Amino acid sequence: MQHIKEMGTVEFWYDYPTAALVSGLEWAILEEIRDRQEAV
């Protein structure tokens, strides 16, 4: 938990989940596109 204390900003708590959500969404979209291309 030390790295969190060092960062200690509210922005970290806001930006990190947002970045995780966006990257997860991007991954899901790319997986869907790849699955559809393989099915054709």
**3-class DSSP state of 31:** helix
Whether 12 contacts 4, CB under 8 Å:
yes
Q: Cα separation of 32 and 9, whole Å?
A: 35
* pLDDT (tens digit per residue) in 1-39: 455 555 556 566 667 788 888 889 999 999 999 999 998
pLDDT reported for residue 12? 61
